[in-house]
Amino acid sequence: MSDPSEPPAADATDPPPPGAAPARVSAVVVAYGPEEWLERSVLALLDSVGVDVDVVLVDNGGTGPIVDELARRERVQLIRTGDNVGFATGCNLGAAANDLPFIALVNPDAVVAPDALAELVAVAREPGVGLATASVRLAEHPDRLNSAGNIVHFLGLSWSGYFDELAADHPERREVTSASGAGLLCRREVWDQLGGFCDEFFAYCEDADLSLRSWLQGWPVVYVPSAVVTHRYEFSRNPVKYRLLERNRVIMTVSCFGPRHLLVIAPLLIALEAGTLLLAVMQGWWREKFAGYWWLLRHVSWLRRRRRAVQSTRARSERELAVLFNAHLDPANLELPAAVAPVDRLLAGYWRLARRLL
């Protein structure tokens, strides 16, 4: 039993008293393959001001001797997975490596500004906040955005929000649908209650899935414009990536969307699958598309269990959360076929009407 004469212990949501020690942050960096910015990324985290940072470097393989050099530095912990376990599992392993009150996820090709983590902590420590997401900038043009919070379409597609727009045009803190996995931070109790990333995702869409689950539990995702992270961004195109993007979109949609939402968009989801399958055939990655279908068929029971588990945490109604979803397909970081434009106008009109049924 605690001594009533002693003050209660501080927790992560308590504002720091004057002269208090800086908040302690566990910064997780998952590395796979050669990455020329990895050293810069880790050193920038260690040089953060206003917070005390321990870096957990998760080596998924193929990284070379640089990880050993970094591991010799004070406050860097190296975890070798022995294989490429994926970004999602790598982040989960890194987050579980210690019990510090705040967890940050930073890409190995991203460099935080000195005060970025402190700015994210200041927002994430507020009791009502779930995830705090940074102003992620393009390395080639650091005055322009890679992401100011990511977008999720009402059909489950997601993309970088406000891509290539001037950061100065987005100066206000605001609630956004999804955090960017390139630079996000949360309290440990939030991460633990959400269960971290879904291991089965492997890579891609895990940040959107985590964000939607945060919103479902009543924890908003907040964009913090003063927390600047520079990202060496490149949207690579390869068949495996398309397979994971498509498969994970289905997992996220089936798990996180409410029953009425799924019901009103069911015809459009069928049309979307037909359209993406046609695109896969035209672009030559149809085998990967079918591999995604095969994975989903073999994991139907798991997907049902996951949906039940996610929906059981719902603290906000479908109508309340409908405003989170974008009506238009307008990803600035992707070039869509010209035929999408007229379809997009129809989709947006459909969603305006369908939202009234939620």
User: What is d(CA 270, CA 346) in angstroms, rounded to the nearest whole number?
Assistant: 15
113 alpha carbon, distance to own chain's centre: 19
340 alpha carbon, distance to own chain's centre: 26
Structure confidence at residue 7 (pLDDT): 38
| Torsion from C-alpha of 158, 164, 168, 172, nearest 10 degrees | 0
Percent of all residues in the chain with a pLDDT value above 90, rounded to a whole number: 83
| Torsion from C-alpha of 343, 346, 351, 354, nearest 10 degrees | -130
Contact yes or no for 210/179 (Cβ under 8 A): yes
Q: How far apart are the first and last CA of the chain?
A: 49
- Write the pLDDT tens digit of every residue in 120-134: 999 999 999 999 999
- Write the pLDDT tens digit of every residue in 224-269: 999 999 999 876 667 889 999 999 999 999 999 999 999 999 999 9
At 42, is the pLDDT very low, low, confident or very high (cuts 50, 70, 90)?
very high
Reply yes or no on whether the pLDDT at 3 is more than 70. Answer: no
Main-chain dihedrals φ then ψ at residue 23, nearest 5 degrees:
-60, 145
Percent composition of the chain: helix, strand, coil (DSSP 3-state, to 5) = 40, 20, 35
Pairing of strands 102-106, 23-31: parallel
Average pLDDT, the chain: 92
DSSP state of 8: P
At 157, is the pLDDT very low, low, confident or very high (cuts 50, 70, 90)?
very high
Quick one: tokens of 108?
A: 């190995």
At 184, is the pLDDT very low, low, confident or very high (cuts 50, 70, 90)?
very high
Structure confidence at residue 342 (pLDDT): 86
- Which residues, at least 6 apart from 201, have a Cβ–Cβ distance to it below 8 Å? 86, 88, 209, 244, 248, 251
Q: Which residues pair with 29 in a beta bridge?
A: 57
| 77 membership: H or E segment, kind and range | strand 76-80
